[in-house]
C-alpha cells in the first residue's frame, strides 16, 4: 500500500521554487546591511566585555565607573549583601552597563572576555556576621568564576587581600612572604577563604592554562565606603562628624597603610592589562604607614571635630602592623600611589558629611 507524503514536505520542484523566492527576498537585505565584522577586527564594536562581581560595592562601583569611562561594555553582578544600588545609580543611564542580581556561589552563564572577581564582604562586621557564607563566597565564588573563565577563555583577576599575610612577622610584607594566619579564629572565614581562592586561581592556571591575575589589596578608603562597615577610616570619620567618642582599639600604636580608592583602581586596571604570563600576586596599597592614633588625630583636625578619644580592648587576631612592599608593582606595572592621606581623607570626609546630612 503506497504511503502518503507527510504534510508540509515539499516535492523537489516546490523546494526549488521556495529557495529561489527566499533568495530573491533576502539578497537585497544583505546588500543593504552587510554582515557585522568580528569585534576583534573592528573598532566600531567594543572589544572588551567585562564582568565585575561585587560591582555595586565600594571598590566595585569605582572600578565600574573607571571601565565605563574608557568605553568598555560592563556587566555588574552583585547580590547586594554589602553592595548598594546607590553606589552605581549615577551610572545606570549608560547604555554600556548591565546590572544583574546574582550570588557568585551559584554558577553564572554569560559571555565575557575579562572578569574582575571582587565579590566578598571585606569588613569584619560583615564577614563575621555569616562566616560560613563568607567562606563560600570566596571559595565557591572562585570556582564558579574560574569555571566561567575556562569556558569563555577570559582573562580573570582575583581581588585578594593583605589579610593573606595575617599578623605578619615580616615587615613590610613582600609577595614572597607566606603569612602568619590563624586558621580557626573569628577572622579565618575571610583570611583563609581568600588564601584558598588564590590556591584555586593558581591551580586553574597550572592545570587549565587559564590567564589569571592576582592582586593583594591593602587597606583602601574613599567615597562610597559603607558608613557602618566597622573599618577604621569610616568608623573614625562617622564618629567625628557625629561628635561621638572615637574608639581606638588597643593602645593605638598598631599601624596600617591607607591607599586612596582612585589609586587602587588604577593598579587593578593596570594589572588586568599587564603582559600575558605575569600572574602576580602583586601587592597594591600605599606604603606610607600610620598609627591608629595618628589617623584619629588627622581626622579630628580635618573634620573640625570636638570628639574625644576612648580606648577599647584589641579584637582577636587583629594584626599589629600592615604595610605593603610595592617593589613588584612599581617594576611590572609602573604603578605607585599618588594621593596622600590628607588629600584622600578630605574627599572621604566630604562624602560622609553629605551622606549623613541626607539620612
* Domain coverage including residue 274: 48-223+259-286+323-338
Percent of the chain beyond pLDDT 70? 86
Phi, psi of 43, deg, nearest 5: -95, 0
pLDDT value for 17: 58
Give the up-direction half-sphere exposure of residue 36: CA atoms within 13 A in the CB hemisphere: 7
- Residue 83 in any domain: the answer is yes
Query: Which stretch of DSSP H or E encloses residue 357?
Result: helix 341-357
pLDDT value for 235: 93
pLDDT value for 127: 77
- Residue 205 in any domain: the answer is yes
Q: Please determine, for residue 20, whether its predicted confidence score (pLDDT) is greater than 60.
A: no
pLDDT class of 358 with cuts at 50, 70, 90: confident
How far apart (Å, rounded) are the C-alpha atoms in residues 283 and 267? 9
* Mean pLDDT, residues 103-117 taken together: 97
pLDDT class of 8 with cuts at 50, 70, 90: very low
3-class DSSP state of 45: coil
Q: Please determine, for residue 150, whether its predicted confidence score (pLDDT) is greater than 90.
A: yes
Q: Please determine, for residue 26, whether its predicted confidence score (pLDDT) is greater than 50.
A: no
How far apart (Å, rounded) are the C-alpha atoms in residues 60 and 161? 15
126 near 58, Cβ under 8 Å?
Answer: no
- Residue 218 in any domain: the answer is yes
- Residue 9 in any domain: the answer is no
Q: Indicate which residues carry an active-site annotation.
A: 190
How far apart (Å, rounded) are the C-alpha atoms in residues 114 and 111? 9
Left (φ > 0), alpha (ψ -120 to 50) or beta: where does 119 sit? beta
Crossing angle between the packed helical segments 232-241 and 292-303, to the nearest 10 degrees: 40
pLDDT value for 320: 78
pLDDT value for 18: 53
pLDDT class of 205 with cuts at 50, 70, 90: very high
- Residue 35 in any domain: the answer is no
- Residue 55 in any domain: the answer is yes
* Mean pLDDT, residues 140-159 taken together: 98
For residue 160, the domain's CATH number is 3.40.50.720
How far apart (Å, rounded) are the C-alpha atoms in residues 159 and 200? 13
pLDDT value for 122: 78
pLDDT value for 313: 87
pLDDT value for 308: 94
Taking only the tens place, the pLDDT of each residue in 241-288 is: 999 999 998 888 988 899 999 999 999 999 999 999 999 999 999 999
- Residue 294 in any domain: the answer is no
Task: Provide DSSP, 274-321.
Answer: SPTT----EEES---EEEHHHHHHHHHHHHT----EEEEPPPTT--S-
Residue 6 neighbours by CB distance under 10 Å: 6
Strand partners, 177: none
What is the pLDDT of the chain when averaged over all its residues? 88
pLDDT value for 319: 73
How far apart (Å, rounded) are the C-alpha atoms in residues 320 and 307? 25
pLDDT class of 343 with cuts at 50, 70, 90: very high
Of 28-37, 87-96, 170-179, 335-344, the poorest mean pLDDT is in: 28-37
Exposed, middle or buried by CB within 10 Å (0-12, 13-18, 19+), for 285? buried
- Residue 274 in any domain: the answer is yes
Whose cell is 614572597? That residue is: 176
* Mean pLDDT, residues 295-313 taken together: 94
> How many domains does the chain fold into?
1
pLDDT value for 217: 97
Amino acid at each position: 500500500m503506497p504511503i502518503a507524503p507527510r504534510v508540509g514536505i515539499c516535492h523537489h520542484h516546490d523546494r526549488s521554487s521556495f529557495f529561489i523566492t527566499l533568495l530573491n527576498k533576502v539578497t537585497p537585505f544583505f546588500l543593504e546591511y552587510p554582515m557585522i565584522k568580528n569585534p576583534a577586527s573592528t573598532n566600531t564594536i567594543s572589544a572588551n566585555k567585562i564582568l565585575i562581581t561585587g560591582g555595586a560595592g565600594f571598590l566595585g562601583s569605582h572600578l565600574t565607573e573607571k571601565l565605563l569611562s574608557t568605553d568598555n561594555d560592563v556587566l555588574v553582578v552583585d547580590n547586594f549583601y554589602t553592595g548598594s544600588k546607590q553606589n552605581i545609580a549615577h551610572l545606570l543611564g549608560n547604555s554600556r552597563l548591565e546590572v544583574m542580581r546574582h550570588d557568585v556561589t551559584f554558577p553564572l552563564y554569560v559571555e565575557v572576555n575579562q572578569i574582575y572577581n571582587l565579590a566578598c564582604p571585606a569588613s569584619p562586621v560583615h564577614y563575621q556576621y555569616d562566616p560560613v557564607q563568607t567562606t563560600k563566597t570566596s571559595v565557591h565564588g572562585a570556582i564558579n568564576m574560574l569555571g566561567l573563565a575556562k569556558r569563555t577563555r577570559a582573562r580573570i583577576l582575583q581581588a585578594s587581600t593583605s589579610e593573606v599575610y595575617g599578623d605578619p612577622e615580616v615587615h613590610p610584607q613582600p609577595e614572597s612572604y607566606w603569612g602568619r594566619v590563624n586558621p580557626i579564629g573569628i577572622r579565618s572565614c575571610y583570611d583563609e577563604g581568600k588564601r584558598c581562592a588564590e590556591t584555586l586561581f593558581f591551580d586553574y592556571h597550572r592545570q587549565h592554562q587559564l590567564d589569571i591575575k592576582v592582586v593583594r589589596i591593602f587597606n583602601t578608603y574613599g567615597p562610597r565606603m559603607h558608613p557602618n562597615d566597622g573599618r577604621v577610616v569610616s568608623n573614625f570619620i562617622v564618629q567625628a562628624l557625629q561628635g561621638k567618642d572615637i574608639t581606638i582599639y588597643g593602645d593605638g600604636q598598631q599601624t596600617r597603610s591607607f591607599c586612596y580608592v582612585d589609586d587602587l583602581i588604577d593598579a587593578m586596571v593596570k594589572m588586568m592589562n599587564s603582559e600575558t604570563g605575569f600572574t602576580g600576586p602583586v601587592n597594591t596599597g600605599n606604603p606610607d604607614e600610620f598609627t591608629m592614633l595618628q589617623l584619629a588625630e588627622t581626622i579630628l583636625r580635618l573634620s573640625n571635630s570636638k570628639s574625644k578619644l576612648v580606648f577599647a580592648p584589641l579584637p582577636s587576631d587583629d594584626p599589629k602592623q600592615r604595610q605593603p612592599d610595592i617593589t613588584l608593582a612599581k617594576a611590572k606595572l609602573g604603578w605607585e600611589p599618588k594621593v596622600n592621606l590628607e588629600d584622600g581623607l578630605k574627599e572621604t570626609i566630604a562624602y560622609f558629611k553629605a551622606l549623613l546630612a541626607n539620612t
